Amino acid sequence: ALSIQSVGGAQSLCCNRLSLIRTASFRKTKALFILFQPFTQGHKVSSTTIGKWLKATIAKAYEAQSLQAPKGITAHSTRSAATSAAWSTQAPISDICRAAAWASPSPFIRHYKIDVFASSDAAF
- pLDDT of 112-121, one tens digit each? 754 444 445 4
Domain boundary assignment for the chain: 16-65, 75-112
- Size (the chain), residues: 124
Helices (H) and strands (E) in the chain, counts: 6, 0
Mean pLDDT of 44-48: 95
**pTM of whole model > 0.75?**
no
Helices (H), the chain: 15-22, 47-64, 77-88, 93-99, 106-111, 114-120
